[in-house]
Amino acid sequence: MPPPKWTEFWRYPVVVGLAVLAIVVTLAWWGKANIAELFATAEIRRGQLWRLVTPIFPHLDILHLAFNLYWLWIFGTVVEKILGHAKMILLVLLFAVGSNAWDFGLAHGGVGLSGVGYGLFGLLSVLSDRDDRFRGVLDKRTSNLFIGWFFICILATVTNIFPVANVAHGAGAVLGVVTAYAIVLPSRRPLLASVCGVFVLSGVLAATIGRPLVNLSGKGGYDEAKWGYDALLKGDNQGAIRWLRESTRYRTKEPIFWYDLGVAYDRAEQSVAAKDAFRRAVALDPGNQEYKKAFEGMQ
């Protein structure tokens, strides 16, 4: 099935609106506008859950933007035409939240529409074979392209050629496939809808309370350490303990994190925990006299 003509853009308000937002936000970012509120950061763990959606708008460069907008038009217009505007919005939100949550939870969080794109690809890879309304919309060449690109991106990330949000690609594709089966298998729809819900909820938990335990990037913990230090300055010892303890779960070999945690415990009159934190700081940086003095002061 050939894609619609560009002159028919008015028939696809969701796809076009999403594309316009991506272009505007990306150009603003390239123009040095402050769009920090849109990125996936550890602020997600403080309740800013909109950051699980908004990273789909900014893109790194013109090729990144053009690639994602092209496939949004190819895939998205078909889905919006057949399933309708409201369901298209829900699918975009589902793929955005699911892909971004898992990517931030396990990795470092990326930008762009590729998670949504892989969600639409996963959806159509099933529907094109099992739903007459979508028959033939996805050919083998396109399928091979997306599968091949998925593994090329993994290789590029592993070899440090350029980092890619591979977890977002995979999570989006999984959600797309499961959603498609929920559409074509009405008898199993409640079960498959539950699977989607559990998958997304697990991703959100991985991006929030569970991130110190599941994150594989090796770059987490610094935001939490800063929040803990800021809490110390404000005299909020319990808040400091909470965030600094989590920073040490990310990075067990960062002596300053353990030292600050020891200070927080000491101020909260938890001497045993303070002594253990100072001991860990000294073990990691035995030449630091400040750490030694703090530890010896607990004897």
Res 1: pLDDT: 64
- What is the reported pLDDT for 219? 75
**Please, what is the end-to-end C-alpha distance for the chain in angstroms?**
77
Which uninterrupted H or E stretch holds 84?
Answer: none
Q: Which two tokens stand for residue 160?
A: 């440090």
Tens of pLDDT, residue by residue over 160-196, are 888 899 999 999 999 999 999 999 999 999 999 999 9
* pLDDT value of position 296: 86
Q: Compute the average pLDDT of residues 282-286.
A: 95
Q: Select from 1.25.40.10, 3.40.50.1470, 3.40.50.300, 2.40.40.20 the CATH code of 222-296.
A: 1.25.40.10
Cβ-contact 210, 202 below 8 angstroms: no
Specify the range with the lowest mean pLDDT, choosing from 4-8, 55-59, 128-132. 4-8
- The whole-angstrom separation of Cα 13 and Cα 98 is 23
Helix 114-130 to helix 140-158 angle (10° resolution) is 150
Across all residues in the chain, what is the average pLDDT?
94
pLDDT above 90 coverage of the chain, percent: 83
Percent of the chain with pLDDT over 70: 99
CATH 1.20.1540.10 segments of the chain: 6-214
Can you give the pTM of this predicted structure? Answer: 0.87
Mean local confidence (pLDDT), 123-137: 94
Residue 47: left (phi > 0), alpha (psi -120 to 50), or beta?
left
For the four alpha carbons of 141, 142, 143 and 146, in that order, the dihedral sign comes to positive
Radius of gyration of the chain (CA): 23
Q: What's 15-75 look like in SS3?
A: HHHHHHHHHHHHHHHHCCCCCHHHCCCHHHHHCCHHHHCHHHCCCCCHHHHHHHHHHHHHH
Give the Cα separation of 285 and 202 in Å (integer). 37
Mean pLDDT to the nearest integer, 51-59: 97
pLDDT in tens, 197-251: 999 999 999 999 999 889 888 778 888 999 999 999 999 999 999 999 999 988 8
Angle at which helices 222-233 and 255-267 cross, to 10°: 30
In CATH, what is the architecture of 6-214?
Answer: Up-down Bundle (1.20)
CATH 1.25.40.10 residue spans of the chain: 222-296
Cβ atoms 157, 92 nearer than 8 A: no
Tell me how far CA of residue 84 lies from CA of 78, 87, 174, 197, 290, in angstroms: 10, 6, 22, 21, 64
Span 80-113, pLDDT tens digits: 999 999 999 999 999 999 999 999 999 988 999 9
